[in-house]
Amino acid sequence: MLTARLVSVLAAATLVAAVAASPASGRWYGSDMRGVANATFGCESALVIGALGGFELAPTNQRSCTYRHTGYFGSLRPTAVVPGTGTIKRIQVKSGPNPARLRLTILEGSSRVDTFTGADLPGTYTCCTARYVGPAFRPRPNATTTRRVDVRVFNVRSKQLQTRIHASDVVALSAVGPGTLPLSITPGLGGYANGTPLLTGYFPLTKVGEPRVDGYTLSGIDLLFRWDFRPAR
């Protein structure tokens, strides 16, 4: 099982910034979908930082995995954390020539909050535990696939002494079996320039109710996945 080797504070800061964005009525969140699905591997492998520097495609010895977008450097665009309580109505995935079967996955992360102000306490954000894994579907090869869904998501804050928590859902994708992943490996692999995407992967996929803190985060890889969020009325 792979362990995170990038500085996790960068990923957490991106997620917290995404929560601050205000919800809109029916709009796409997630990847900007500008990249090309050029990954030639599936869950059986993962790009990692090499032992002697550089990057290498390492075996995971797994047939399933979960990936979540961890944001773009210098951007407040919500990419994985839901901006409020509401419903995901559609998802889109951009695939290469031999896509793996995918499952919409909802993870949950949380922070402790200040009892008086309700603000998140720095350094207390933890992620993630899966609470929903949808049915498997296979995207169309070399195309953008749109799939209708109806999945409730939550962003809840409580200042009560017995709770004192800010819980927010995180939208992710799991893959199962053979086939390539909807990933765009950019020239900025491992870099920190503004606009560089961040990606976190879990091997094997996250199971419902199973806390996972073993995500491996790497910059320069874009998860080509976005979701249509409708806020609760």
| pLDDT tens column, 171-195 | 999 999 999 999 999 999 999 999 9
183 Cβ neighbours under 8 A, 6+ residues apart: 37, 38, 39, 67, 199, 221, 222, 223, 224
Per residue in 214-223, pLDDT tens? 999 999 999 9
Residues 4 and 68 sit within 8 Å (Cβ to Cβ): no
Greater pLDDT, 25 or 93: 93
Structure tokens that stand for 9 in this block: 């504070």
Note the pLDDT of residue 78. 83
Residues 153 and 168 sit within 8 Å (Cβ to Cβ): no
Q: Is the pLDDT of residue 3 over 70?
A: no
Note the pLDDT of residue 22. 37
13 Cβ neighbours under 8 A, 6+ residues apart: none
Distance CA 22, CA 4 (A): 30
Note the pLDDT of residue 11. 39
Residues 126 and 87 sit within 8 Å (Cβ to Cβ): no
Distance CA 224, CA 182 (A): 6
Helix (H) or strand (E) holding 13: helix 8-19
Note the pLDDT of residue 158. 82
Distance CA 233, CA 230 (A): 9
Tell me phi and psi for residue 137, to 5 degrees: -145, 155
Band of residue 26 on the pLDDT scale cut at 50, 70, 90: low
- Judged by DSSP in three states, 233 sits in coil
Per residue in 30-70, pLDDT tens? 999 999 999 999 999 999 998 877 899 999 999 999 999 99
